[in-house]
Structure 1
Amino acid sequence: MADVFDRWDATTDAELSVELVQDYFSQVWDELYIATAAVDRVVDDPSLQRLLLSKGLTSTDSAVERARGGLSTTLLLQEVKAEEVEDKGEGASMLHPVQLSSQDERLVRLLILRAIILRRLDLLDTYEALISDPSWTSEGGVNSFAEAEDDPWAQDLETSQSPPPVPLTLSEFLSFDLLTNALTLASTARFEVPAHSNGTTFCSFVHSHPRAYASVLPSLDQSTNLEKVPAPFSNRSEQDWDFVRIESLLTSIQLSEWYKDRIRRIDSSFGLTDIALELVQHGASQGISDLDELGEDLSLLARLVYDTPGADEQSSETAEWSLERWRSLDESSIVRGYVARSTPDTIAGDIRRLVMPYLYVLEARRERAGKHDPDLPSRYLYEYILSAPLDLCGAIFEASKPTTPSSLRIIRKDEDLARLALASLYGSENLTQWPTMSNIFECLPEWAADNGVDGGAEAETTLSSLSSFVQPSTTRARPAPPSDLFLFFSPLPAPALSRALDILDVHLECGEILARWNVPAPLVWFLQSAQDERQQRARAIRMARSASFGVAGEDVEREKLIDNEGAYTGLLKDMLKLVGSSSSVARGAFRLLGREEVTKIFFSGVLSSGKFNIAKKLLQNPNVKKLDAKTIENLCLTVSREFYDNASSGNLHHGDMKLAYDCLAVPPFTDEVRTEREFIEATSRICSFKVVSRPGIPISPLEIRLVKDRLSLVARVLSENEDAYKYPEVILELVHKLGFPKGDVVSEVKTFAMLADSALQAEDFNVAATSCEQMIALLKMRRPGLEAPSSDGVAAGGSTEGDAVEVCWHACFQLGRQSEFRDVKKKLQLLGYALQLCPPANTLDVLAVWRRIELEDIQTPATAAAHSPPGGGRRFNSLSAQLSEYAATTSPLLMNQGADAAALAAKTFTRVAANFPMSFRGVRGGGTSRSEEDGSIARSTSPDVSSHARQALARGMGWLIGDDE
């Protein structure tokens, strides 16, 4: 026997053959050694392997008979564990003796070896079936689990290609543990693995469809409340000794946790919600308890993942859904998830088949938990509606109309339907979907009028309350959201809701009108402005001026539209509609303005659009005719001044200044209109003279209007245009157009004074003298006696005339004392006027200059002869005497002859000259000017003299016209 054993040990697995096996086992009679030798050898040849296992199985037949006759199976269950067989390998190492008698120990070992042999035989049968299956070939076929035509999963289980060849050799298949084999075959979607081990181990990592491996999934034995022992996976008709389970079975609680754990892993690891749901359903069918809530969640999640619109697109949003995320979200988020990709065409159906079942499940769970909440479905549904886009809301309200059968309505209560619509519409900031909003209104219920209730008063009360509620505040800058508005409407009974819907109807009509004229407002604006005239006026002005931008939705060219009188007539008609009528339950958007004020705003808007021809035609409109002529005039003046103030250039032939000028052609030609037109003409003339507001910056029309003393503008024209004084008619016309009427002595005298001064600075003395004579002539027309003003410088005719006299004598004195002016006769004449007009306090100053010029003239015989009247100068001497007498009676200081009198006169003149501009612009072109104190002649040689002279002239002109600044 020793030779036989040595020869067996020396033969390798590759050298084994059928003949060697037959020969070896025919020479050995020890049953235990034959069984051990059969288990010890694993080869890749199926026929040879089957021969080995058959020999070993035959050697254990007697052991089975003996065990059935007397060996306690309880002893095996307590002392021999299956893990010792499966986890520590098969062979000699498994034959560790247990604490039995020698006879029982040998029997147990034989039985353990028999169990191993039987399992290997089953695996061998499986392997042979696998390699002989046509589906393992390259031509392959359809998976057998999808053959039934009515199987809904069949299409998913079809494979475009056959599974690959068997990935294991026979020796590997027999040597590896069952879990490794199961995972290896499961990777190729083959589950024909014998159920010789606990199915819970096999299914740890399976994520294919449960129906494919349902036979190996664990189930519950209701009689024992333990895991059910699986039926043998073999061709044997009887249960052999090896199928008595020798390990602990899972309890119902453990089975439930096992299923839950596998389901969570399938869903979270692979995102296969449908597979996880199928596993739940299979477990429930096998009697596994405590899977109901998990099944509900998976069923609802599966609807979200697979049944929502666009689910077949497998978007990234869909891929992110999992059971863990599902349970982490609040109910509102899940509701929004169901309809996240819904459209107006699908939203109603999606709510019925997706949202409502979910909400009913939530209600049932609360009920099971003892928390009765019948309002839960409507609460979450309404919350979504209040946050949904307006087009989706429209579809939901359409599916909830009172005429729809109650069982099909999404919103079943009429009061809730009205409240939700009011909150959604007034809470929306949409400015374009007016047809949708009108359709929503058409879906709302109508209640019979309550004759016992004052509808108008209740409507006003409701409107006032709403207006206060929606006003922005320091804590809420934006309008109230729909959810807040819904809380406001919730307590209102049906009659109040009916009044609110009447108000809504008016507001919708107003909103459509405003949108049609490109000045849309959200519905909440009608509530906010209901008691605010300022807001209504601002919107009316915008609407009236919208005509210059065209009308929304009209299929006409813009230029044709804004020149169309009919379009403006339609605008006025719509604006008057927005006023509403006093008899309506809720008046319109411009109800606080009234029809007359709206007509004025409209006509002003037409003028602001620059369509003056249209405005003239509209004066014949019956509504515009109701405005009186003075109102029309004021509107035209206001718009013209607006154009004027916005003009960047004063040229009345271009831009806004032209619009300002042309606007005044619309009303009748009244004095006020004429005055405004002339002022625009004056502005254009001033700007043509290149007057600047600061160096390099032309003066703007607005700056011209804001000048307090408009004569200062004439002074600036003369100071900045050297030759302007040569055109006194133009300058005088400019004065009149600036608002000083013809015959206004003061303004005309001041104008001639400025002309005289400008001519004086240009050393054009004759023109300066002519201007002074014109001043005297104006005063003579007003005061033939040419009386001098009183001692305080105010004439008898009043302060205004006194200003003219003051300017006149100063101008005459200024020119009369100029040494460069060689016409002594005119100089003395001018000084004579100055003496007649100046106040007594200034008489000595003027007289001193007059006497000096007289002495100089006497010392020049030629000059004296030229200026002496017939009779040897008696007339001249008579004038001198008269002046001397006048001076003597005027001031006793003249009684002191000689140096004292001269010094006093010089001192007085110096005082006056300090306050009177001696020269406003200096001498141009190197001209000369003489100092009246020392008689010296100073010539201008500096290039800055001209610049300083201009500044001096501007200051001098301001002094002349009384501008202290």
Structure 2
Amino acid sequence: MASPSTTTSPEDLCAQWTALSDEDLTAEKVNQLLKPVPDDLWVAAACLDRVLDDAPVQRSLLDLGLERSQPALTRSQAAFDSPAEAVGDEDDEDEGGEIREGQDRRHAALVSHFRAEPRNAQLCRIRAVLLDRLDKLSTFVEICKEAPFKEDVVDPVDAEWEDDPWADEANDPPAESAPSASLPGAPPIPLPAFLQSDLLQLACLLASLEHIAALRILMERHGAQLWPYRFQILDSIPEHALSEQLRDVLPSYDPSEDREVKAEPKPWRSEVDFSESSELHKALVDSEVALNVEPPPRIDSSEICPEPLSPSNIAAWYQKRIDLVISNTGLIDAALSLVQHAASQGLPGLDELGEELSLLSRLVYDAPSSAQYADDDWTLARWKNMDPPAIVRAYLAHTTPETVARDIRRLVMPYLFVLESRAERAGAPDPTLPTRLLYKYILSAPLGIVAAVFEASNPTLAPVQRLIRDDEDMARLALACLYGSDSLNEWPTMSHIFECLPAWDTTQDEDEADEADTTIASLGAFVTPSTTRPRCTPADLMLFFKPLPSSALSRALDVLDVHLESGEILARWSVPAPLRWFLQSNGNIAEQRSWANRMARRAGESQDKLETREDWEWLLEDMVKLSDSGESGSWSAFCLLSKDDIVRIFFSGLLSTGKFDIARALLRSSSVNLSLDSAVIEDICLTCSQEFYDNASSGNYHFGDMKLAYDCLDIPPASPRIVKEKEFIEATTRLCSFNLMSRPGIPITPLEIRLTKDRLSLVSRVLSSNNDAYKHTQVILDLVHKLGFRGDVVAEAKALAMLAETALQAEDFPRAYEASTRMVDAVLALRTAAPAGLRDPRADEASEVCWVACFSIGRHPEFADVQKRLALLGRALELCPPDRLADVLAAWRGQLRMPELHMPHSPLASAPDAAALANKAFSRVAANFPFSVGHRGRQLMSEDENSWERSRSGSRSRADGADVSAQASRVLQAGIGWLLGADDDS
């Protein structure tokens, strides 16, 4: 744009100024375009209208506007001052009245002047606004020089988003925030906004942005206006700001004046311009001149505090600020720095708060932490609501054995000393408070932590270096922690704790030793759970040990040494027990025996521990050691068990593993004296064999547990008991081979076989479930013998009776007869073997079984061999009781009189049914046979007494039809009584 000519008219200059943009405006153009214009009001208004980002150009505008408004201000002030000169000549007027009258006259004169010269009123208002802007501009420039703003760092655009269409727009700073070329930094508040905002808004904005240096300058240069609103400004500062940054703006305390320090303002102008005076402002209002310019922005806030605060009010403000810092940010360090700043000025009531925040700061920033609790929300209220033991636990919540001693010294001890000091200041000194709280933590800490604390309290250290300095307290704490622990696998740690304990050279007389033993014995009852105390805690045990003298503590440590060694041995063999178990079981032999059995058996189950004979010898050695009754041996794990008890338990455990070769080797070994006689070995082997048997899922003794049960019996020498048990195992195998079922579809188990009360019923089930089993008489008899009936004639008779009955049901009369005769021979041999004149109950029982079976077969109508039938009926006559002779004799006579006639029913027409009576007797003495004839599919004997006869008639049934022989049989039935001796009953 060309420079204006000297002959350019004011109208052209005004047009050029209006057309000029803010970006093209310079100080030179201000002088070229505005200074030649003669209209002061227009020039001043033009200077007021432009608010620029360029500070030098803005200053040239303000200076020019003030220069052109100065004549109007001079005229207005002259109008205001002229009445005062006239008033000064009247000396006899009242002074107060003169002043009031003079003020009124000056005000009226100024109002009249503005009414007469409204342009002067406009220029005075413009001047006041220009002066306000000039002061702010000077402040802005000073802020930019002394406290330059840092430019916002924009994160570099990720390489993969280089072509992001939104990147340019998103990363460009706002146009209004562009830095001024003449200022050293890019302020967050643009110069136009800074000039046009009121001071309180500017101060609060700078405070919220944490531009504390800029805020300090603003409050120094405009302190007269901002002082009453200082606390509103301070409340705008974010709570996370540290007091080191806020020292220049925080409230200060003057001890000499005992009140808040009021900072001396440093305004840009020492005197207030007349255009800014209240008199001129009031005159402008009263003149009612239409003004087109708003007055300078004024502070509008109700939060005003014009007077300095008292010390208590300053402290209250700090307290409120600290609460906000903690609750809103959780930054304990910011709160701590704030209270330290306040306390350093001597403000009352903040010392204890400083202590609390200092201790809380140690917890938040110095105590060990874990990732899981990194975001734990700690507040001052939460801290104050915690009791001291909880705070100690919080300090050490994430400590480790490697750091616990250091953490106690640097975190816990200062806290405990503060508590002790407070108690002294409160007039209730408690010297035991630190140790009491420390002990309480130790009693609840894990054993690894406890061991580290004891290591840092070793009596070999200097007293000042020890965490626990009292030797007796160390013993009490160790006993309480160890016997109160449930740990089963920290034996090295427990032993380390024991090694750190002091040793007393105490000499006890007999009475003191007995008293100490009695005390330790009572500890066993103390740690035993009850309904009121399910578990004895270390704190409970500490109460028990607290009154004990050093002599009793020394004895308790001796016992602890024994228990630790015992615990290590038990853990070595996979049967660990908590230390309290040794106290509880000390007088309980059943509990000790149970644990010894568990040790012998569970160690055997751990194949990685007991592979060789030497391993088992080691186990035996340890078990014997646990039963040692030497010095302090009365407190060992198996102190109530003798060596023989231990050896028995050990040998049982060895056999339970199935390592029979090792068992034989140990029994023959000269280096290991098992001291077991043959009877004991036999008992143990039988017991173990029965365990294998009962646990077997299969009855086959060629594999699995049943094989172990059978092989176990080969260890001791053969004896009747051993042979009998082996035969029972063989019988079990034979029974299972017949596929007996306990329930439909479920094979019978060995345990069910052993638990069967009447084992002959198993033979009955074999015969009933296998069609051809009755044909193998010797096999069945061998089975009976091996089931435990070897030499039992009665059982053999019953078995033969079952064979005969099964053969009879199958109409295999030769085998039925063969079984019957063999049964008769056995019974007769038993009867003749009885001493003369004496009755053998077994012979009577066998005889009853025998006569019933002979009678049943001999009277069977389909048995074609009459001579054999008569022979069997004859044996029935020989063996039956006297009250049954008539019945048997009647049948025999019937067979004798009509040898060729097959009778369909019993010939006993008028007498009681002999078949039913025989069946009843047979059912009573023999096993109940649920027989069924497989190849004919017929129903055999049932539990009903009369069903036996029905089955017989059923077996003789023929096809329906007019059969002549069937009609003849019915005719013979009607009149057969005389043939069978029915006339004898008449």
Does residue 184 in structure 1 map to residue 205 in structure 2? yes
Pick aligned residue for 2:890 from 832, 839, 848: 848
Shift of 1:936: 7.1
Q: Distance in 2 between matches of 1:683 and 1:568?
A: 33
Secondary structure at the counterpart of residue 693 of structure 1: strand
Does residue 608 in structure 1 map to residue 695 in structure 2? no
Please show how residues 627-776 of structure 1 align to structure 2 within 5 Å: 627-742=676-791, 744-776=792-824
Q: Could you tell me which residue of structure 2 aligns to residue 253 of structure 1?
A: 312
Shift of 1:318: 4.5
Secondary structure at the counterpart of residue 789 of structure 2: coil
Name the stretch that deviates more: 933-942 or 767-776. Answer: 933-942
Q: Distance in 1 between matches of 2:355 and 2:606?
A: 59
Does residue 204 in structure 1 map to residue 235 in structure 2? yes
Q: Could you tell me which residue of structure 1 aligns to residue 323 of structure 2?
A: 264
The answer on whether the counterparts of 1:420 and 1:486 sit within 8 Å (CA) in structure 2 is: yes
Q: Distance in 2 between matches of 1:932 and 1:485?
A: 81
Residue type at the aligned position of 2:843: E
Q: Structure 1 residues 824 and 605, CA, compared in 2 at 3 Å: closer, same or farther? A: same
Q: Distance in 1 between matches of 2:320 and 2:948?
A: 117
Does residue 165 in structure 1 map to residue 224 in structure 2? no
Q: Distance in 2 between matches of 1:413 and 1:99?
A: 92
Q: Distance in 1 between matches of 2:952 and 2:471?
A: 107
The answer on whether the counterparts of 2:368 and 2:398 sit within 8 Å (CA) in structure 1 is: yes
Does residue 572 in structure 1 map to residue 620 in structure 2? yes
Q: Distance in 2 between matches of 1:223 and 1:674?
A: 113
Q: Could you tell me which residue of structure 2 aligns to residue 229 of structure 1?
A: 262
Shift of 1:829: 1.7
Residue type at the aligned position of 1:219: S
Q: Structure 1 residues 455 and 229, CA, compared in 2 at 3 Å: closer, same or farther? A: same
Name the stretch that deviates more: 579-588 or 682-691. Answer: 579-588
Q: Distance in 2 between matches of 1:216 and 1:934?
A: 120
Secondary structure at the counterpart of residue 742 of structure 2: strand
Please show how residues 786-935 of structure 1 align to structure 2 within 5 Å: 796-857=838-899, 903-905=909-911, 911-913=917-919, 915-916=921-922, 921=931, 925-926=935-936
Residue type at the aligned position of 1:659: L
Shift of 1:768: 1.7
Secondary structure at the counterpart of residue 839 of structure 2: coil
Q: Distance in 1 between matches of 2:378 and 2:34?
A: 60
Q: Structure 1 residues 786 and 487, CA, compared in 2 at 3 Å: closer, same or farther? A: closer
Q: Could you tell me which residue of structure 2 aligns to residue 584 of structure 1?
A: 632
Q: Deviation string for 1:703-722 (max 9, x for gaps)?
A: 21122232222222222222
The answer on whether the counterparts of 1:164 and 1:188 sit within 8 Å (CA) in structure 2 is: no
The answer on whether the counterparts of 2:362 and 2:411 sit within 8 Å (CA) in structure 1 is: yes
Sequence identity (%): 48
Name the stretch that deviates more: 348-357 or 684-693. Answer: 684-693
Q: Structure 1 residues 27 and 808, CA, compared in 2 at 3 Å: closer, same or farther? A: closer
Secondary structure at the counterpart of residue 223 of structure 1: coil
Q: Distance in 2 between matches of 1:347 and 1:849?
A: 104
Q: Could you tell me which residue of structure 1 aligns to residue 982 of structure 2?
A: none
Secondary structure at the counterpart of residue 215 of structure 1: coil
Q: Could you tell me which residue of structure 1 aligns to residue 165 of structure 2?
A: none
Q: Distance in 2 between matches of 1:654 and 1:42?
A: 111
The answer on whether the counterparts of 2:322 and 2:339 sit within 8 Å (CA) in structure 1 is: yes
Q: Distance in 1 between matches of 2:951 and 2:378?
A: 107
The answer on whether the counterparts of 2:767 and 2:931 sit within 8 Å (CA) in structure 1 is: no
Q: Could you tell me which residue of structure 2 aligns to residue 470 of structure 1?
A: 527
Q: Distance in 2 between matches of 1:318 and 1:854?
A: 111
Q: Could you tell me which residue of structure 2 aligns to residue 496 of structure 1?
A: 552
The answer on whether the counterparts of 2:854 and 2:875 sit within 8 Å (CA) in structure 1 is: yes
Shift of 1:858: 8.0
Q: Structure 1 residues 370 and 672, CA, compared in 2 at 3 Å: closer, same or farther? A: same
Q: Structure 1 residues 906 and 936, CA, compared in 2 at 3 Å: closer, same or farther? A: same
Does residue 432 in structure 1 map to residue 463 in structure 2? no
Q: Structure 1 residues 295 and 233, CA, compared in 2 at 3 Å: closer, same or farther? A: farther
Residue type at the aligned position of 1:687: C
Shift of 1:513: 0.9
Secondary structure at the counterpart of residue 251 of structure 2: coil
Q: Distance in 2 between matches of 1:54 and 1:597?
A: 122
Please show how residues 519-534 of structure 1 align to structure 2 within 5 Å: 519-534=575-590
Shift of 1:691: 2.2
The answer on whether the counterparts of 1:780 and 1:786 sit within 8 Å (CA) in structure 2 is: no
Q: Could you tell me which residue of structure 1 aligns to residue 963 of structure 2?
A: none
Q: Distance in 1 between matches of 2:683 and 2:386?
A: 66
The answer on whether the counterparts of 2:710 and 2:726 sit within 8 Å (CA) in structure 1 is: yes
Shift of 1:910: 5.3
Does residue 383 in structure 1 map to residue 440 in structure 2? yes
The answer on whether the counterparts of 2:592 and 2:641 sit within 8 Å (CA) in structure 1 is: yes
Q: Distance in 2 between matches of 1:333 and 1:927?
A: 85
Structure 1: stretches of 5+ with no match in the other structure: 1-7, 29-35, 67-96, 141-160, 552-557, 790-794, 861-900, 943-965
Q: Could you tell me which residue of structure 2 aligns to residue 290 of structure 1?
A: 349
Secondary structure at the counterpart of residue 411 of structure 2: helix
Q: Deviation string for 1:731-785 (max 9, x for gaps)?
A: 221122111233x332222222222222222222122222222222223333459
The answer on whether the counterparts of 1:652 and 1:684 sit within 8 Å (CA) in structure 2 is: yes
Does residue 423 in structure 1 map to residue 484 in structure 2? no
The answer on whether the counterparts of 1:844 and 1:908 sit within 8 Å (CA) in structure 2 is: no
Q: Could you tell me which residue of structure 1 aligns to residue 396 of structure 2?
A: 339
Shift of 1:294: 1.4
Residue type at the aligned position of 1:689: F
Shift of 1:633: 0.9
Q: Deviation string for 1:70-118 (max 9, x for gaps)?
A: xxxxxxxxxxxxxxxxxxxxxxxxxxx99994599999x9xx9999999
Residue type at the aligned position of 1:733: D
Shift of 1:937: 7.7
Secondary structure at the counterpart of residue 368 of structure 2: coil
Secondary structure at the counterpart of residue 379 of structure 1: helix
Q: Deviation string for 1:643-671 (max 9, x for gaps)?
A: 11111221111211111111111112111
Q: Structure 1 residues 209 and 120, CA, compared in 2 at 3 Å: closer, same or farther? A: farther
Pick aligned residue for 2:144 from 123, 131, 136: 131
Does residue 216 in structure 1 map to residue 249 in structure 2? yes
The answer on whether the counterparts of 1:761 and 1:920 sit within 8 Å (CA) in structure 2 is: no
Shift of 1:21: 9.5
Q: TM-score, normalised by structure 1?
A: 0.76
The answer on whether the counterparts of 1:219 and 1:287 sit within 8 Å (CA) in structure 2 is: no
Secondary structure at the counterpart of residue 610 of structure 1: coil
Shift of 1:51: 6.4
Across the two proteins, how many residue pairs are aligned to each other?
A: 818
Q: Deviation string for 1:513-552 (max 9, x for gaps)?
A: 111111111112222222222222221111101233327x
Shift of 1:349: 0.6
Q: Distance in 2 between matches of 1:418 and 1:642?
A: 47
Q: Could you tell me which residue of structure 1 aligns to residue 541 of structure 2?
A: 485
Secondary structure at the counterpart of residue 562 of structure 1: coil
Q: Could you tell me which residue of structure 2 aligns to residue 946 of structure 1?
A: none
Please show how residues 549-564 of structure 1 align to structure 2 within 5 Å: 549-550=605-606, 558=608, 561-564=609-612
Q: Structure 1 residues 433 and 238, CA, compared in 2 at 3 Å: closer, same or farther? A: farther
Q: Could you tell me which residue of structure 1 aligns to residue 294 of structure 2?
A: none
Q: TM-score, normalised by structure 2?
A: 0.74
The answer on whether the counterparts of 2:315 and 2:350 sit within 8 Å (CA) in structure 1 is: yes
Q: Distance in 1 between matches of 2:896 and 2:826?
A: 28
Residue type at the aligned position of 2:139: T
The answer on whether the counterparts of 2:259 and 2:310 sit within 8 Å (CA) in structure 1 is: yes
Q: Structure 1 residues 319 and 806, CA, compared in 2 at 3 Å: closer, same or farther? A: closer
Q: Deviation string for 1:436-492 (max 9, x for gaps)?
A: 111111111111213336565244323322111111112333x21212121221222
Shift of 1:301: 1.5
Q: Structure 1 residues 326 and 801, CA, compared in 2 at 3 Å: closer, same or farther? A: same
